[in-house]
Amino acid sequence: MARYELKPCARGVEVVKHPIRVKNRPGTKNLEIHIHVKDEKRYIIVSSKTDDLDEAVEIAIDMWREIQFKKKHGIPIFGKNVLEASREWIEYMQHQVKVSKVTVHMLKQYDSYMRNHIQPYFGNSKVDSISKIEIDAFMDGMILKDFKKPTLKAIKTTLNVWLRWCQDKGYYRKQIPVIEMPKMKERRRPAFTEEEIDLLVDGSKRWLMDIESKLNANIGHNRRSNAWERQWYERLMLMHYIKFMIGTLARTNDLKLLRWRDITEMKDENGTVVACYFFRGKGKESYVSCSIETYFDLQVYSGHNHIFGKGREWANDPDDLVFSKANAYPPNSLKDQESAKKEPFLKTANCFKELVQWLGIEKTSDGQIRTPYSLRHSAITAMLRQKKDIYMLAKQSRTSISRLEQTYGHLLPRDLFKELFDVPESVRLSSESFDVPDDDEEEDDSEQ
């Protein structure tokens, strides 16, 4: 130990010219290391896990050198806890939004999952102490909150992106573990019966008329009539949204991007006039035809915009969104119009929830909550029971015959199942080109 000069101190020795002390720990034979970090005005106190003085001093010197390295490269000496690191990460992401490297929607999602789930679970734990066992336990715990697969994927992505950032900053010095998706129980997709679909379509009209009567009775009361006028536009749009979802078998994300230029009137091979919709979504683009009645409904909806627009330029220009938030808000509400510019698509989940609660059909018989996406499942199930051509149904719904069989086959009587899905292999393979992965609850608009 000639390299280091030692001098006695209380309960041990002090290394000369170094802020290091090696002391006897009460009640144990192992020596204790004390390193004074002057800049932080704190001590690092750890066990040397040895009773040999020379060996303990060598360990202490190595620790002190590591502290000097961290100081030189700006790495936190005491490490960051989850709360500190997550707040710093959100600030970093806010800067990334300003330079257009991250979208506002993505920032909101990261912030929501971090504040509501990751921070409460890991709390004041040191980032560097997070293990794979803890991460797996965290993901398993998310299932107890009854989250669906897309939400679990988003939480997993948020945790992964944050850990990578912590690794780059030096807060997490281990290899990032592979984050596994928790095993989920297979659940039936929430859908409506055919009677409930009729009730929903008819009920959306009655729900619109209900607010019309209140609006007409309070024309002179500006504040109240403005709020009801906004509700009137939302309910009008929801009524046509429901008809459109059922008529086209569209996915909710498709409608977020649907513009007036994507809708055309054509004739099919039999000479029948049909409406044709151009959908973009999930990395694929495709045309889908449906009955002309659905097209006429949209023309009526478009006409409502002109009639009740009060001189405003309504969203009927080719590049405007069909289901636009701007259409749902009164023209004299400047705050709402500014909100519509930032996020133009009208979120339907909350309005739809109010409607099904009003009609008393919010949940299925097994307690699952119905959402706008349930309209697609209900329409496909109804068409299968009506013995629609399976190949044309696969094309219309933009999915493969195999996926239809896997997803909806258990809902059909055995004889009907065999009749519909007993198709040549060539036809089955041909339908694979229509396939777009069908995630449940794409329309999850509310913050988790």
Which residue reads 């807060």 in tokens? Answer: 171
Average pLDDT over residues 161-165: 93
Q: Kindly indicate the confidence band of residue 344, based on its pLDDT and cuts at 50, 70 and 90.
A: low
**Helix (H/G/I), strand (E/B), else coil: 229:** helix
| pLDDT at residue 317 greater than cutoff 70 | no
- 161, 205: one domain: no
Q: Kindly indicate the confidence band of residue 350, based on its pLDDT and cuts at 50, 70 and 90.
A: confident
| pLDDT at residue 161 greater than cutoff 90 | yes
Q: How far apart are CA 232 and CA 44, in angstroms?
A: 65
User: pLDDT higher for 157 or 72?
Assistant: 157
- 65, 97: one domain: no
Domain presence at residue 447: no
| pLDDT at residue 268 greater than cutoff 90 | no
- 314, 355: one domain: yes
Q: How far apart are CA 420 and CA 392, in angstroms?
A: 12
Q: How far apart are CA 183 and CA 77, in angstroms?
A: 38
| Domain, as residue range, for 147 | 82-169
Tens digit of each residue's pLDDT (9 = 90 or more) over 192-239:
888 999 999 999 999 988 888 877 776 555 544 567 777 887 888 888
Q: Are 160 and 199 in contact (CB under 8 A)?
A: no
How many domains are there within the chain?
3
Q: Which residues pair with 35 in a beta bridge?
A: 20, 44
- Cβ neighbour number for residue 47 with a 10 Å cutoff: 13
Q: In what order do the strands lie in the sheet with 42-47?
A: 6-9, 12-15, 20-24, 31-37, 42-47
- 165, 281: one domain: no
Q: Kindly indicate the confidence band of residue 290, based on its pLDDT and cuts at 50, 70 and 90.
A: low
Query: pTM of the full predicted structure?
Result: 0.59
| Mean pLDDT across the chain | 76
What percent of the chain shows pLDDT beyond 90? 11
Average pLDDT over residues 272-295: 65
User: pLDDT higher for 130 or 321?
Assistant: 130
| pLDDT at residue 310 greater than cutoff 90 | no
- Answer positive or negative: Cα dihedral of 213, 216, 221, 224: positive
Q: How far apart are CA 332 and CA 310, in angstroms?
A: 10
Average pLDDT over residues 28-46: 76
- 69, 124: one domain: no
Domain boundary among 73, 92, 122: 73
Q: Which two tokens mark 344? A: 């133009």
Q: How far apart are CA 127 and CA 125, in angstroms?
A: 6
Q: Kindly indicate the confidence band of residue 315, based on its pLDDT and cuts at 50, 70 and 90.
A: very low
Assign residue 294 the CATH number of its domain.
1.10.443.10
The pLDDT score that the predictor gives to residue 448 is: 37
